[in-house]
Structure 1
C-alpha cells in the first residue's frame, strides 16, 4: 500500500529563496540543487507564489466576552504573510460572526485605509448564548484556503435567558494521536505525539499505555505541559493494530485507536540538536526509491531545497536555524514521483517584537476619576512609530480568557490549524521545558496556506480580484430562464440620490460584471439594468460578496454554569441600566466625506428650474429654455438630441438620460414626468466616454429629494438593498471633568471603559485619558500594535478601581 499524504494539509508562502548550510550526518548523501530544478517542485512553488502576494488579517477585539445587546468593537490590521509588514493591497475587509453551526449571524464590510480599519457590531438582544467565531478576510484571500482567514472565538451571554440556567461539570475528555511526519510505517521507529483535552478544550493531565491486539503493553506515555506529550514507538511487522488507554487525573479512562499503520512508506523525524541547528532524519522501507526531496519553507519563503540519497533506507542532514524565518517553518518530504508524503513543523520564537510601554499615572483610582496613560513604542530600545489600538474592560469571573496578541497570532496561531491554548507561553518561556512544549505543539498541529495539488497543477486564473478602491459589486448576467451566461453586454449601476454617480461594466466570458463602488458607506438602494434596446433578454443576479467556504470547525463547548448565577444576574442588570441611560450615544457616527461632484464632472449647462417659468409639461421646459437639448417626435414617440456645440452639430441618437443618477432608456416615460418634481437639469453637450460605453451627450434630471419621486422604472431593472462599508460608529464614554458631571445621578455601570482603535505613536510618548465608571474592581488594559517594518507587539496591565469614600 502506498503511503498517504500527511494528516495535516500542507502549506507555505512565497518570495526569495535561501539554501541552507547542510552537513552530512549519517548514511546518506545530501545534494543541493538549483531551486528551480528539484524535480520541478521548487520552481512550481515559486511560480505559485509569484502569482500574487499573500495577505493576513488580524482583528483586535475589545474583549473576549459580551452580553447580547452590547456593541463589539474591533480594529483590523492587514499585513503581508511573509514579513508581517502592513499591506495596502485591499481596501475592504469582510467580517462575520458565525454561530456553532458556522452560519453567519452578523456580517459587515469594513473600510481599510493604509492597511488598517475599524468597525463594530451591535449584538442583537435576541442572540442566543454561546461561543461564536469571528472571522475576517479580504476579497483576495477568498482565492485561497478559508483556513487562512482570521478566526477567533468570543463568548456571548444572553443575560435575560441565563436565569435558572445550569450545566453539569463533566470529566469527559478527548485523546488524539499524531505520528511525527504524518504516518506510522511498520518496522520504522516513529515519534507519536498526543493531545489530551477536557470538555472545554483545555489540556488535561493524564498518563497512558499503548496495547497491541494481544493486549500487550508496547509503549507508555505521560502528558507534559497543556495535555501534550510524545513517545517513541515502532510498529511491529504483521497485521497488528494498536489502542491507547488514557487514564485521567480523576482515574477516568479513555480508549482511542492509534492511526492506521502502513506497510510501506517514509518516516520524517526532526530533533533539536543544538542551539544553532536541527537534525532531520528520513527513514524508508526497503521497497521505496532511494531518492527523495526535502523542501523547507517559512511563510512564503523557500529556505531549503535539497535532494537526499538514502543509504540502506536512511538519510540525515543538519539544518542551521539561522536560515529559517521567525515563527513556524515547514519541512516537506517528497518521494521520487514528486508526491508530498511527510511534513514536519518547527517553531522558532521571534528574537524581536514591538515593545509597547504603557504606564498609568496612578496605581489605584476611585470611581469617576480620570485615568491618564502614557504610551510609547520601541524596537528594542529605540523609539519606533507604530499604529496601536487600546481597550480597557472589567475583569470578573466571566471574563477570564486572555486575548491573543497580534505578534502571537501572526507568527504562531495563524500558521496552525487548531486552537492554541495559552500562545503567550511559547514566546515568553525559556529552557528545556519550553522547547519541549513548543515541539509538542508543532507535532499536534499543522496545516498550510495552500494545498500541494494546487501548487503542482497548471496555473488557473484567480476567481477573485483585490479591491484597492473600495468594495466591488459583482453580478451574473444570464439569458432569462437559463443559466447561459450573457457576455459583452454593458450593464449600468446607480443608486438614486441628489448626487449623480453612475458606473458601467461589460460582462466577461462568464457573464460576470464588476462595479467599483468607491467609498460607498452604509445601506443603499442600488439599481442594475441593461439597455433594453441592445439586449432585452438579460437576467441579472447580484453575487454574495461574503465567502461561502468555511474552515474545519474547532467546536468550543459552551454551557451556562450554576456557579456563576450571581454574575449572570449582575451582568443582566448592568446591561439593562446601560441600555436605558445610554440613550442615543451608542448610535453616534463620524461624519463621512461627501463627493458632490457628478461622475461627468462639471456639466456644460445647468438649469435650476425654480429660477425659470414653471411649466406643467416637460416638453415645454426643454423647448423654452434648454437650447442644448432638441426635442423630436417620431413614430415611436419622443427623442432627445443633444447639440454638440464644439462641432456645431446635433447628435442623432438619444443621450444618456438620468433621473437622480438612474438611467432612463424609455424617453416617453421621462417626458411624461411632472416637471414640478424636478429641481435641476444638467446637460453635457458632447459625446462622453464612460468606461466601456459612449454616450451621445448626457441629460441629467435631479428631483428635490433624490428618490425618483415614484417614477415608474422598467420592470427589468433589478433593485437591490446593498450594504456598503460600515459607517464609523463613534465610541462614547462619559467624561467627569466638571463638578456637575461628577455629581450626575445617571448610573455608569460600563464594563468597557475605553476603546480607541487609532493611536499613533512617534518619537515622543502618546497620552490617552479616560474616566472610570461607578463599578469598583480590576480592569484590564490591552494594547495591540504594528509598525511599518513588520514588528508587532502587545501589552497589558491591570488598573485597580476602589469605591469613592
Structure 2
C-alpha cells in the first residue's frame, strides 16, 4: 500500500512538472516573439520619405519644386536616424536623369530640379529614399509619376477642364476574357474545410488595372455555391464553406465567353482568423477544426511595429473564441494580426485598416474672397485643429498652381496621407490610393477591407524576425552627412588588399586634415561632413611596413561611389491619369504665351535637322562593349535580369547560365563550360577574368553579385583572343566600378584627388510684388505656380496669413497643403479660387 502511494505521488509530481514545463516553454517562445518585435520597434524601425511637388505635370524649361518629409516608419514623427535624402528623376528606361542630395535637418526640407529645354517628353518617375532603406530586402521608396510635355506652337488657347479628369480604369469594354487575371486571397492565409471562409478577390485586365465584373464559385459538378462581384480597382470579397471531399473553381463571363480559374488549396484542418471592422471596434473571430486547437495559441496585433494587442488561448477556448477590441486608442494605419500556435509557429495573418475619426487633424484654408482678378493680391489664413476643435501645430508645405497642372480629383497622384498610411507599408496598392481617404461611404469601407485581404505585411516576415537572435550589422548605416570611404589595395592589383595609413585633406575656404588607419580589409571611412557646392579632396596613403623596402607608396586608393546602387524595381502605374495629348495642349497655355506677348522675345522660324539618332540600346551596348577586350559576347548575362540575384554569389549566377556547369559546394566548386577544348594537362578549368584581369578561381568563388554589372561566357573563336589559356572557355566578370561616381578620380601610387559634390542648395522661389509698378512688370506673367513654400510652421494660433499675387493666367487655381502634425499625423488638404 505504501509503495503504491509512493508511486502515485512520484507520478503526480512528474505530471505536475511536465504540465508546468509546457507553459514555461510556451511562455519563453512568446517572450522571444514579443522581444524581437520590441527590438524592431525601438532599434530597427524603418524610415519613410514623402515628396510634395508644386505640380503634378510639367513642360520643358519649368522647375520641379519639392519638399521632402523624412519620418520614422513607426511613429511617423521626424526620423532620428538619417539626415541624407536622395531625390532622383528617372526616364521611361529607369535611367536617372537628375539627382539631388538633400540634407534633412528638419521635418520638411525644400529643393528643386530644373527641366532643361533638351529633356525628352514622356512619363517620368520621381523617386526619394535614404541609404538606410537599402537594408531591406525589398525596400519601399517614395515614387511618383510625372509627365513632362513639349510646348506646342502658338495658336488659339487650348481649353482643358481638369475637374473632369479621372483615372482611366479597365472595364469589361475592350477587355477580352483571355486578358483577365483573377486572384483569390483566403482570409488568414488558407481555405479550411468545414468552416466559413472569406476570400479577397482581385481581377485585373490587360493594362493591369482593376476590372468590375461578376463571377461565381462552383463545385466539381459546376453548381454555383457562391457569387462575387468586384467593383472599383477590381476588388471584392466572397464567403463560402468548402468541403474537404469537394473541389471548387471560379468562373467569369465576358460577352458570352467564360473562363475558369483555380481556387487556393483546401486544408483539411487548420485555423480561420476572421475580423470585422466596425469602425469604433474590431470583432475578432478565431476558429480551429481540431480538438483543443486554440488552447495555448497566441493572437498578436501590432500597428507598424507597436504592439497593442495580445491574447493567449485559454483552456475553455478550445476551438473558438470571439473578442471585441476597441480602437479608440489606436493610431490610423495598417494593423497586422498574427495567430501563433502553442509552439510559436505563425499560422494565420490578417491586415486591418484602422481609421479613427478622433485622430483626424483638419487644416482649413480661409480667404477673404473666392474670386480674384489678374495681378491681384491673395491673402490666405490657415487653421489647424483636431477633432475636438483644439489647435494643433505642425510642419507643412504649400503650393498654389493652375488647376490644370495640379490634378486632384480621382487620380493616381499620391498624397502624404495615402502614402504614409497605405502604400509605404504595403507597396503599390491601387492606382488611386487617395480614394480611400475621401468622404466616407459604405462602398469605400467595403473596398478598403478587400484591399487589406488582398495584401500581405511586407515590412518583415515573422519567421525571419524571430530566428534573428541578434541585430544584423547594417550594410547601409543611417547617414548623418556625406561620407568619404573606400579601400586601399596593391597599385597593380586592385583585388589584393593592402592595409595602410590614410590621410584626408579637404581644401575649401580653409584646409582640413584627418588621419586614420584602415582595417584589416583595407577599408577606411571619413565623415560625416555637411557642405554645399563642391570641395577639393586629396587622399594620401602609405604602407608603414613597406617603408624599409621603399615601397610605402605602392598603394592604390579606390574611393566608394557617393551614389548608392539601387536594385529595387521602380513601380509604374499601368496607365497615367492625364492623357498625354491634353498635357501637351495645356503646355500651350503657359510657355508659348511668352512668344506671343513678350516684345523682348523673338520667335525664329522652324529649322529641321535630320540625322540618324542612336537608340538607347545601341548607346548602352557601345559603352559596355568598350569595357571588354573581346567586344560583344554572344552569351552575355546581366545580373539584374535574374530575380533575387542581387543577394546571390557569382557562382550562383553561373549555375543559371546555359552551357555552364557548376558542381560541388563552396569553396570546392568545379566549373566547366560545355564546348571548351580540354588542354594538354586535361584540366577542365576555364579562364577567369575580373574587369579584364586574369584572376584565380577562388577570387570569383568568393564574390557576391553586389556591384557586378554583367558576366560574359566565351567559347571557341570568341575566346581565342585570350590565347591558349582560354582553351576551356572564358568566364569574364565585369563590375560597375567607377560608373556611379559623382567626381573624376585621378589615380597615382599612394595618392588620389577629386572634386566632390556637396548637398544641394535650393534656390528661393520667386514671387513678384505688383504693389509698386516696375519696368519688368510690362512682361506677361504666365506662371502656372503662383506660390511655393517648402517648410512652413503652422502653430494653430495667431497664424500670419499667406500673401502672394496672381498673374495674367485666368481660371481655377488650387492651393495644396501637405505636412505632418507634431505628433505624427499626416494631413493633406486642397482649396480652390478663381482668377477672372
The answer to whether TM tops 0.5 is yes
Q: How many residues align structurally?
A: 635
Q: Distance in 2 between matches of 1:545 and 1:280?
A: 52
2:394 paired residue among 381, 386, 403: 386
Match of 1:340?
346
Q: Distance in 2 between matches of 1:240 and 1:168?
A: 33
Task: Report which stretch shifted further, 728-737 or 756-765.
Answer: 728-737
Q: Distance in 2 between matches of 1:365 and 1:38?
A: 64
Contact 1:286 1:312 in 2 (8 A): no
- Deviation string 1:531-578 (CA, Å, 9 cap, x unpaired) is 3556534433333454434545543134799x7646514415733566
Match of 1:514?
525
Distance 1:286 1:483, change over 3 A: farther
Contact 1:353 1:407 in 2 (8 A): no
- Deviation string 1:493-528 (CA, Å, 9 cap, x unpaired) is 334434212344443455432221522223444333
Match of 1:419?
429
Q: Distance in 2 between matches of 1:408 and 1:34?
A: 39
Question: What's the secondary structure of 1:739's corresponding residue?
Answer: coil
Distance 1:288 1:402, change over 3 A: closer
Distance 1:524 1:208, change over 3 A: farther
Contact 1:91 1:471 in 2 (8 A): no
How big is the shift at 1:727?
A: 1.5
TM-score by length of 2: 0.67
Distance 1:148 1:558, change over 3 A: closer
Distance 1:753 1:32, change over 3 A: farther
Match of 2:34?
42
Q: Distance in 1 between matches of 2:335 and 2:595?
A: 48
In the alignment, is residue 536 of structure 1 matched against residue 553 of structure 2? yes
1:461 paired residue among 473, 484, 500: 473
Contact 1:308 1:315 in 2 (8 A): no
How big is the shift at 1:124?
A: 4.5
Distance 1:443 1:44, change over 3 A: same
Match of 2:212?
205
Distance 1:69 1:540, change over 3 A: farther
Contact 2:57 2:405 in 1 (8 A): no
Match of 2:806?
772
Q: Distance in 2 between matches of 1:439 and 1:206?
A: 18
1:755 paired residue among 782, 788, 793: 788
- Deviation string 1:602-657 (CA, Å, 9 cap, x unpaired) is xxxxxxxxxxxxxxxxxxxxxxxxxxxxxxxxxxxxxxxxxxxxxxxxxxxxxxxx
Contact 1:419 1:554 in 2 (8 A): no
1:396 paired residue among 378, 384, 404: 404
Distance 1:553 1:566, change over 3 A: closer
- Deviation string 1:718-770 (CA, Å, 9 cap, x unpaired) is 334433211222222333333345851x2322222221112222321222222
Q: Distance in 1 between matches of 2:205 and 2:76?
A: 34
Match of 2:731?
none
Q: Flag structure 1 segments of 5+ consecutive residues without an equivalent.
A: 1-30, 584-711
Match of 2:574?
557
In the alignment, is residue 785 of structure 1 matched against residue 819 of structure 2? yes
Match of 1:171?
174
How big is the shift at 1:297?
A: 0.9
Contact 1:297 1:329 in 2 (8 A): yes
Q: Distance in 2 between matches of 1:115 and 1:292?
A: 42
Q: Distance in 1 between matches of 2:27 and 2:91?
A: 44
How big is the shift at 1:309?
A: 6.2
Q: Flag structure 2 segments of 5+ consecutive residues without an equivalent.
A: 1-22, 156-167, 546-551, 601-745
In the alignment, is residue 368 of structure 1 matched against residue 375 of structure 2? yes
Q: Distance in 1 between matches of 2:25 and 2:440?
A: 36
Distance 1:71 1:509, change over 3 A: farther
1:96 paired residue among 58, 67, 88: 88
Contact 1:297 1:304 in 2 (8 A): yes
Distance 1:795 1:185, change over 3 A: same
Question: What's the secondary structure of 1:56's corresponding residue?
Answer: strand
- Deviation string 1:433-453 (CA, Å, 9 cap, x unpaired) is 443232122112333322334
Contact 1:147 1:552 in 2 (8 A): no
In the alignment, is residue 717 of structure 1 matched against residue 751 of structure 2? yes
Match of 1:491?
502
Match of 1:231?
238
Q: Distance in 1 between matches of 2:127 and 2:539?
A: 30
How big is the shift at 1:168?
A: 14
Match of 2:59?
67
Q: Distance in 2 between matches of 1:128 and 1:305?
A: 55
Contact 1:88 1:114 in 2 (8 A): no
1:300 paired residue among 291, 299, 305: 305
Match of 1:575?
591
Q: Distance in 2 between matches of 1:549 and 1:486?
A: 29
Q: Distance in 2 between matches of 1:367 and 1:390?
A: 21
Match of 1:144?
136
In the alignment, is residue 325 of structure 1 matched against residue 336 of structure 2? no
Distance 1:490 1:738, change over 3 A: same
Contact 1:398 1:567 in 2 (8 A): no
In the alignment, is residue 119 of structure 1 matched against residue 111 of structure 2? yes
Task: Report which stretch shifted further, 339-348 or 573-582.
Answer: 573-582
Question: What's the secondary structure of 1:367's corresponding residue?
Answer: coil
How big is the shift at 1:226?
A: 4.4
Task: Report which stretch shifted further, 213-222 or 63-72.
Answer: 213-222
How big is the shift at 1:119?
A: 1.4
How big is the shift at 1:210?
A: 3.0
Question: What's the secondary structure of 2:450's corresponding residue?
Answer: helix
- Deviation string 1:148-178 (CA, Å, 9 cap, x unpaired) is 43333333335579x9xxx999834654332
Structure 1 runs (4+) greater than 6 angstroms displaced: 31-36, 167-170, 250-254, 285-290, 309-313, 578-583
Q: Distance in 2 between matches of 1:450 and 1:752?
A: 41
Task: Report which stretch shifted further, 282-291 or 260-269.
Answer: 282-291
In the alignment, is residue 181 of structure 1 matched against residue 200 of structure 2? no
Distance 1:478 1:450, change over 3 A: farther
TM-score by length of 1: 0.70
State the Cα RMSD in Å: 4.0
Q: Distance in 1 between matches of 2:398 and 2:412?
A: 14
Contact 1:417 1:447 in 2 (8 A): no
Match of 1:699?
none
How big is the shift at 1:415?
A: 2.2
